[in-house]
C-alpha cells in the first residue's frame, strides 16, 4: 500500500505541466498549468492515509 501511495504522489505531481481538457479545470486552459489535478491529488492523499493506517495497525498487532 505504501508503494501505491508513493506512485500516486508521483502521478499527481506529474499532472502539474498538463492542460486540462475535461471537467471544470478545462475552462482555465493554459492557466491550469502548474496546478495539480485535484482528483489525482486527493487520490494520493487517500492512499497515503490508508497506508499510514495499515502501517499503524500492523505495528499495534505485534
What digits encode the pLDDT tens for the residues 1-38? 999 999 999 999 999 999 999 888 899 999 999 999 99
Q: Note the residue count of the chain.
A: 62
Let me know: does 36 contact 43? Beta carbons within 8 Å.
no
Q: How far apart are CA 57 and CA 62, in angstroms?
A: 9
The answer to whether residue 62 scores a pLDDT higher than 70 is no
* 35 phi and psi angles, rounded to 5 deg: -110, 140
d(CA 19, CA 32) in angstroms, rounded, equals 6
pLDDT band at 61 (very low <50, low <70, confident <90, very high): confident
Closest CA to 26 of 34, 12, 11, 18: 18
Amino acid at each position: 500500500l505504501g508503494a501505491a501511495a508513493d506512485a500516486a504522489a508521483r502521478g499527481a505531481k506529474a499532472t502539474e505541466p498538463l492542460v486540462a481538457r475535461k471537467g471544470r479545470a478545462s475552462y482555465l486552459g493554459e492557466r491550469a498549468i502548474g496546478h495539480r489535478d485535484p482528483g489525482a491529488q486527493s487520490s494520493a492523499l487517500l492512499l497515503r492515509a490508508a497506508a499510514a493506517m495499515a502501517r499503524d495497525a500492523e505495528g499495534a498487532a505485534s
